[in-house]
Amino acid sequence: MTQYRRLPQWFLNAALVALLAMLLYPLGFTLWGAFKSDVAFAATRWYPTLPLRVGNVSSAFGSIWRYLLNTVFVAGVGTAGMLLIASLSAFTFARMKFFAKEWLYMLVLALMMIPGALTLVPGYMLYKTFDLLNSYWALILPLVTGGPIFGIFLLRSFFESIPKDYFEAAQMDGAHDFKLYYRIALPLCIPIMGTLAIMQIVGAWNEYLWPMITIADHEKLTIAAGLLISFTGQYTSNMPVTFGGYLVASVPLILLFTFTNRYYVQGLLSTAIKL
């Protein structure tokens, strides 16, 4: 093998480390910024220093815990509903024979091509008509109704790739369709469902436009909207506390990431997302 034609490994690693350092620097900047005093921040904001001022983080926590709680609730309920509907529907499309199957499937996929720009305003008016504005429903329902679309796209091809024998053996034992779904299909798709769940939770964490529009009562805002509308305005002059808030806002995602990044990476690497 012609080794000289390859990039030398040390060079590749050095370049990657440099790129990752640039990518991650803003995160580090926020992290150590959150633990500095006002004075230290003004003088040495670009690198970490001691002592750590934990007070920033706890006062930031005091003003945003409510948003965090709301987000956990909304994302939790919404994601559970999404996974249930997405996996059951994808299983049906992948494993059952029925009339107008491909036609219905295209009807679902076509929704991925409908831009939010077209639906934002009429969607808002719809929630208004149902009197759902300013309630948790306005935040949860979009996750449960629109959320499964991408999941079905992802899960259907996954279910189709499961060898037929798995299902046929169970069918011999007299298992009916629903049993095939929760006994065989569900356990096999846990990693990819993990990927989907992470995507949806991260999505809910990041969403600020819809909560900003639909939720008038600040007590019900989710984290991104809460940070944007009320928190940053409150502490404009105190950067360390602001960064403390960013840090607290990220902690649940950091935990999620720590425990699930293997699933997420595996899930993404095992499915072909392409057109």
The reply on whether position 54 binds another protein by CB under 8 A is: no
In the bound state with another protein, the residue whose beta carbon lies nearer, of 185 and 220, is 185
Transcribe 27-57 into DSSP letters.
Answer: HHHHHHHTTS-HHHHHHHTTS--SSP-HHHH
The residue among 123, 196, 120 whose CA lies nearest residue 158 is 196
The residue among 86, 78, 59 whose CA lies nearest residue 245 is 59
Name which position in 49, 59, 119, 171 contacts another protein (CB under 8 A). Answer: 119
Instruction: List Cα–Cα distances, 209 to 96, 124, 164, 187, 206, in angstroms.
Output: 38, 11, 44, 35, 9
Q: Choose the stretch contacting another protein; rule: CB under 8 A; options: 7-15, 54-62, 166-174, 182-190.
A: 7-15
Task: Give, as one character, the DSSP assignment of residue 216.
Answer: -
The reply on whether position 2 binds another protein by CB under 8 A is: yes
In the bound state with another protein, the residue whose beta carbon lies nearer, of 20 and 69, is 20
Contacts (CB under 8 A) with another protein, residues 129-158: 129, 141-142, 144-146, 148-149, 152
Contact call for residues 27 and 232 (beta carbons, < 8 A): no
The residue among 189, 183, 182 whose CA lies nearest residue 162 is 189
How far apart are CB 47 and another protein at their closest, in Å? 12
Q: What CA–CA distance (Å, rounded) separates 186 from 88?
A: 9
Contacts (CB under 8 A) with another protein, residues 80-99: 84-85, 88-89, 91-92, 96-99
Q: Choose the stretch contacting another protein; rule: CB under 8 A; options: 3-11, 49-57, 58-66, 155-163.
A: 3-11
Contacts (CB under 8 A) with another protein, residues 18-47: 19-20, 22-24, 26-27, 29-30, 46
What mask of x and - would describe binding to another protein in positions 204 to 243, judged by CB under 8 A?
-xx-xx--xx---------xx--xx---x------x--x-
Q: What CA–CA distance (Å, rounded) separates 127 from 181?
A: 33
Q: Choose the stretch contacting another protein; rule: CB under 8 A; options: 48-56, 107-115, 154-162, 164-172.
A: 107-115
The reply on whether position 275 binds another protein by CB under 8 A is: yes
